[in-house]
Structure 1
Amino acid sequence: MATHLKYFVTHRDSFFIGLVFTCNSLLFGSWITRIPNIKDAIRLSEAELGLALLGAPIGSLLIMPLSGWIISKLEVGKTTLLSGLLHTFSLVLISIANSFWTFTFALVYYGFINALMNISMNAAVASIEKSMKKPIMSTCHGMWSIGAMLGSMAGSLTLGLELGTSSHLIGAGLAVALLLLGLSGTLFRLKESKNVEDKVFALPKGGLLLLAVLAFCILLSEGAIADWSAIYMRDIIRSDPYLVGFAYAGFALLMAVGRLSGDALIPILGKKKLVFYGGLVSTFGLLLAILSHSAVLAILGFSLTGIGFSCIVPVLFISAANEPGYSSGTGIAAVTTLGTAGFLVGPPMIGILAEWYGLNWGLVFVLFCSLLVSVMSLRVKFR
């Protein structure tokens, strides 16, 4: 593991694309800790918040059919940089939202531009992997988890310091924009490896469809924890304000540890075992979080869920990028399309369950999805 990480850090293209993953998650980790504040400021119910959160997956689905074509026209590196810079503006829109509809619109834009950045940066990783013949996908996703952890911890700190939502989010967006500009020289050089017969658009079917169903379950679960863990800590566990963001921070920290080890573990344990046992560990972690009545145990439960989830998405993206007959970007986009539908179904379902039965039962649904990942992995061929 140490040798792999040393190579990753010293290889310029690998490390810089890893930093792009960190930039993406810094934006994400920053705003999710502000969900309770936004909910209170706009006076949204649990169900209304769930419906507003639909905006992000709707925006994602709008860009999915076009993403492969955009990457093929602009090249993967330029698409990554441009979408990243445009993404920083999403935090500005979220910070100034003052109603259900303006908040929903801000999230539509967030989902639209985040999905394009997500697909292009993962396609860039797949291209780098093919050129240097070394796995870096899991490590890059580990860099994403590090950024999410830092963003959520910084968000908790700003909450404890009573810093305003707008000041926090606009400042975070500006910092990420400056970091991306510093990476622009390397990003401009990155290109996607292509074959003449590769498709630039595809709906998932066959092997891609099975991978996409797994992505549906796992991304629903990850999104639900991101969207609802802070509210769960505040309203159900009734934790200290300084600890509100630490449920997701712990989740992201152990996810980062798992992902940074993933590129070394995948060849040893195999993709199928990592997905199967990862689903079981995350199921146990969610069960602990749901049954606990203390902030410490809840944070521990969410953290275990993070290490369980850690290598699953990288495995799905590696397999999608290696699916015959598709370019890396198109294979990843096809899997992400149905995966993003998990975000579409998840937020309102969790919100409605929370409204009717309590947020604990919303997390029980997430637990079921996590268990389903383990069961389904036994039938999937991972490439």
Structure 2
Amino acid sequence: MQTPRRTNAIASRSQSMAQAQQYALPVLFSLFGVIMGSWAGRIPSMAERVHVSHSALSMVLLCGGLGAVLSYPVSSRMMASLGARKTMLFAGLALLGVLIAIGVAPTVPLLMLAVLSLGITASTFDVAINSSATEREKRTGKSELSKLHGLGCAGGLAGATLGSLMASLHIAPGTHFMMLAAPLAVALYFAYSLLDADEVGQKVEKKSFSLPRGPLLFLGAIGFLGSMAEGSIADWSGVFLKEHFGASDGLAPLALSAFSVMMLMARLVGDKLKTRYGARPLVTSGSMLGAAGLFFAVLSPNAYLALAGFAVAGLGLALVFPFVFSAAGAQGPAALAGVASMAYSGSLMGPPVIGAIAQGMGMQVAIAYVGGLAALIAFVASRSRMLK
């Protein structure tokens, strides 16, 4: 028979464990952001190290998008056999190993192979953590995916800032990534140990690629367009300021900073807004606001007003990915993996499409095209029954 003191101690430990478990997913999303931000922040250094041309660099970056598209059989089968918890551990450790491989790759072909592996491991890890988050949303009835994506965005900014600092200290990408991998692996295992996700896998179709069907196709289309828009702004907003307004090297990158900071702020309050207004009105109206911000940037008379336009675009587009992933994840890991694969294919197509438009018709038309993508997101979202 247990004494009251022993019963209270057990209850206290259970409560402490439950409180600790709440931090597992925030740590995982932040960790993912740090990894991807660190990789993005060192791209110039890695390109210089292997003496890659601009055209070859675009092919290297496309390998990441291609890997994300091809990740479906990996993510779906790992989720089926291992469950989300073990999938995120194995995919996360593999992602850290791939990050080091990218940093030390001595030739362009090996760099392309490493970046292809980055796309596969990163999207598999992303599917696993989003699946765990959506399962917790269903279990608790509480929306939290927007906040978690906001923490991922914050981690990305931290990783990019750290990358800039390492570059200024002339620390090689390989050394930087090795220094980063050990503490991040410890954080990954700590979060994995605390996570209360189900270990049981879920049966999925054994296909090399799954195109969402029916109502899920609308979610996939929104994700595809959102990925194209976000990736295009990340790659081309600074180039637009520099070429169109003659912005300095210090001012031009602030376009992406303004976009990212406002996106972060919006995601931190997105869950409360979803509870009050619903996902579909927020994605629809937000995408229209994003389109307006991009058109404002295109028509701005100077770079400073254009920065405001990109900030508004970040505010408007912030909730697209969290709510699409939440709606897809509610249908199960297989649906989430299929929608994620379609969404990530937008990152594969975005850079060359915008580059071709910029080459043929100028950067103003290219950014206006991204504004058109945002407006199209609003149109598709208004007809999606799964965004609730």
TM bucket by the smaller chain? 0.7 to 0.9
1:138-157 matches, within 5 Å, as: 138-157=146-165
Q: 1:329 pairs with 333, 336, 351, which one?
A: 333
Larger Rg: 1 or 2?
A: 2
Aligned to 2:381: 377
Query: Post-superposition shift, 1:190?
Result: 1.8
CA gap of 1:178–1:192, structure 2 versus 1, over 3 A, is closer
Q: Could you say which residue in structure 2 is the equivalent of 1:349?
A: 353
Aligned partners of 1:126 and 1:318 also within 8 Å: yes
Per the alignment, in what secondary structure is the counterpart of residue 190 of structure 1?
coil
2:259 is aligned with 1:251: yes
Corresponding residue to 1:265 among 273, 286, 291? 273
Say which of 96, 119, 129 aligns to 1:121: 129
Could you give the per-residue CA deviations for residues 331-355 of structure 1, whole angstroms, max 9, x where no partner exists?
1111112111111211222333344
Give the one of 164, 184, 191 matched to 2:198: 191
Q: Distance in 2 between matches of 1:230 and 1:341?
A: 23
Provide Cα deviations, 1:134-176, integer angstroms capped at 9, x if missing partner: 2211111111111112222333344455544444444344442
Q: CA deviation at 1:296?
A: 4.3
Question: Which residue does the alignment assign to 2:295?
Answer: 287
- How far the C-alpha of 1:55 sits from its partner, in A, is 0.4
How far off is 1:86 after superposition? 1.3
Q: Name the counterpart of 1:79.
A: 87
The residue aligned with 2:14 is none
Cα distance in 2 for partners of 1:229, 1:331 equals: 32
* Residues 103, 369 of structure 1: alpha-carbon distance in 2 compared, 3 angstrom cutoff: farther
* Equivalent residue, structure 1, for 2:282: 274
8 Å Cα contact 2:83/2:202 also seen in 1 = no
Of 311, 334, 340, the residue aligned with 1:303 is 311
CA distance in 2, matches of 1:235, 1:97: 32
Q: Deviations over 1:193-223 (max 9, x none)?
A: 8888x76765311000111011110011122
2:211 match: secondary structure:
coil
Q: Does 1:219 align with 2:223?
A: no
Contact 2:83 2:200 in 1 (8 A): no
> What is aligned with 1:88?
96
Structure 1 pair 296/171, CA: closer, same or farther in 2 (3 Å)?
farther
Q: How many Å separate the matches in 1 of 2:251 and 2:176?
A: 18
Q: Residue 206 of structure 1: which of 210, 214, 231 is its match?
A: 214
- Judge conservation of contact 1:229–1:247 (CA < 8 Å) in 2: yes
Question: Deviations 1:26-46 (Å, cap 9, x if unpaired)?
Answer: 111122233344445545554
Which shifted more, 72-81 or 152-161?
Answer: 152-161
Once the 2 structures are TM-superposed, how far is the Cα of residue 99 of structure 1 from its aligned partner? 4.3
Cα contact 1:155–1:245 (8 A) shared by 2:
no
CA RMSD of aligned residues (A): 2.9
1:50·1:352 contact (CA, 8 Å) conserved in 2?
no
Quote the residue 1:4 is aligned against.
none
Q: 1:64 aligns with which of 69, 72, 75?
A: 72
- How has the CA–CA distance of structure 1 residues 96 and 232 changed in structure 2, closer, same or farther, with 3 Å as cutoff? farther
Tell me if the contact between 1:13 and 1:186 (Cα under 8 Å) persists in the aligned partners: yes
State whether residues 83 and 116 of structure 1, in contact with CA within 8 Å, keep that contact through their aligned partners in structure 2. Answer: yes
Is the CA contact 2:70–2:341 (under 8 Å) kept in the aligned structure 1?
A: no
Q: What corresponds to 1:3 in structure 2?
A: none
- Structure 1 residues 42 and 357: CA distance shift in structure 2, 3 A: farther
TM-score when normalising by structure 2:
0.84
Range with greater deviation from structure 2 (100-109 or 354-363): 354-363
Distance across 1 between alignment mates of 2:114 and 2:366:
25
Mapping for residues 168-187 of structure 1, pairs under 5 Å: 168-187=176-195
CA contact (8 A) 2:81 2:201 kept: no
Match of 1:106 in 2: 114
Q: Do the aligned partners of 2:84 and 2:131 also contact (CA within 8 Å) in 1?
A: yes
Distance 2:358 2:58 in 1: 9
Mean Cα displacement is larger for which, 307-316 or 352-361?
352-361
How many angstroms apart in 2 are the aligned matches of 1:102 and 1:65?
23
In structure 2, relative to structure 1, the CA distance for the partners of 1:133 and 1:251 (3 Å cut) is same
Partner residue, 2:21: 13
Specify the alignment match of 2:142 in structure 1. Answer: 134
Kept in 1, the 8 Å contact 2:45–2:167? The answer is no
Offset from partner CA, 1:41-88 (integer Å, 9 cap, x none): 545554433332210121112221332221121121111122112112
Q: Distance in 2 between matches of 1:236 and 1:158?
A: 30
1:132 to partner: Cα distance: 2.2
Query: What is the TM-score normalised by the length of structure 1?
Result: 0.85
Bigger shift: 360-369 or 235-244? 235-244
